[in-house]
């Protein structure tokens, strides 16, 4: 594509990279990414995707900015307290890069709306903080054949992996291959219950954004089939290989989950 003078100057440090160049930057400008959650993880993800020039970015979150968010959700500010997070985030992103197409959804993802929402995007970045939504996103991305870059944080720990759409016979795991089903309610605390070191959100969100950009440009080694585990207290990064579980309820040889009806509450 032909870049404007403004784009050449804005993205010069990307274009200088042999792995990116003009072709890679053009892929970013033409990409469509949905970020679920404009909180601790979503904040740095959204800011770096905007700065990188991802052309269309969707933000879905039904919450408003609270004072307790500002310890880690760096996309928001004291001046945006009580505003919907999607609007606060959009304002900040356009301040960084006004040429973007930012789509906002002030709502929660549900079994009834998720497939229609993710249909418009190439990649989904999961920055949610509850297992119910996390499993819903995984299952929907599997059925819709969308690449999912997923991160999680709690206290001083973080996890990151990528789950890619696969054809029959391929050995790419889904989220359920690692975590078969959601834990019982209340067994695993949320950040609001157990706390989280704010800077960890920046660490994991930046890594998550990096993996999204890599998937768009098809460079480097994908995190598909690998799970990265981060322990901030000991500054320890570990990566473990993850194989597709043939007994997985979703993507196994004899799947029991064939649609999203499992997520609908009776």
Measured in whole angstroms, the distance separating CA 80 from the mean position of its chain's CA atoms is 23
Task: Tell me what the pLDDT averaged over the chain comes to.
Answer: 94
What pLDDT, in 10s, does the model give residues 93-119? 999 999 999 999 999 999 999 999 999
Which H helix or E strand runs over 237? strand 236-241
Asked if pLDDT for residue 257 goes beyond 70, the answer is: yes
Asked if pLDDT for residue 197 goes beyond 90, the answer is: yes
Angstrom distance (rounded) from CA 62 to CA 128: 12
Sign of dihedral through CA atoms 195, 198, 203, 207? positive
What superfamily would CATH give domain 12-263?
Answer: NAD(P)-binding Rossmann-like Domain (3.40.50.720)
Q: Which residues of 26-49 are buried (b: 16+ CB within 10 A; e: fewer)?
A: bbbbebbbbbbbbbbbbbbbbbbb
In terms of DSSP bridges, do strands 32-36 and 123-126 run parallel, antiparallel, or are they unpaired? Answer: parallel
Angstrom distance (rounded) from CA 165 to CA 100: 27
What pLDDT, in 10s, does the model give residues 214-254? 999 999 999 999 999 999 999 999 999 999 999 999 999 99
């Amino acid at each position: 594509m032909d870049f404007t003078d403004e784009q050449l100057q804005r993205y010069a440090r990307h274009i200088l990279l042999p792995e990116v160049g003009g072709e890679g930057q053009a892929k970013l400008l033409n990409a469509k990414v949905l970020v679920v959650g404009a909180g601790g993880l979503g904040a740095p993800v959204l800011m770096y995707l905007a700065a990188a020039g991802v052309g269309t970015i969707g933000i879905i979150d039904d919450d408003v900015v609270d004072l307790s968010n500002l310890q880690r959700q760096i996309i928001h500010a004291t001046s945006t307290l009580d505003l919907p997070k999607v609007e606060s985030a959009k304002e900040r992103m356009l301040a960084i890069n006004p040429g973007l197409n930012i789509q906002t959804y002030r709502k929660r993802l549900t079994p009834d709306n998720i497939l229609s929402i993710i249909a418009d995007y190439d990649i989904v970045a999961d920055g949610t903080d509850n297992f119910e939504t996390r499993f819903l996103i995984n299952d929907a991305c599997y059925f819709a054949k969308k690449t999912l870059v997923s991160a999680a944080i709690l206290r001083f720990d973080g996890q990151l992996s990528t789950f890619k759409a696969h054809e029959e016979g391929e050995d790419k795991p889904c989220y359920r291959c690692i975590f078969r089903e959601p834990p019982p309610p209340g067994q695993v605390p949320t950040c609001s219950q157990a706390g989280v070191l704010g800077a960890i959100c920046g660490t994991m969100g930046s890594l998550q954004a990096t993996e999204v950009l890599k998937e768009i440009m098809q460079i480097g080694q994908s995190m598909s089939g690998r799970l990265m585990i981060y322990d901030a207290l000991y500054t320890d990064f570990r990566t473990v290989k993850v194989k597709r579980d043939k007994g997985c309820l979703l993507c196994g040889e004899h799947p029991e989950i064939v649609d999203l009806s499992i997520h609908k509450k009776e």
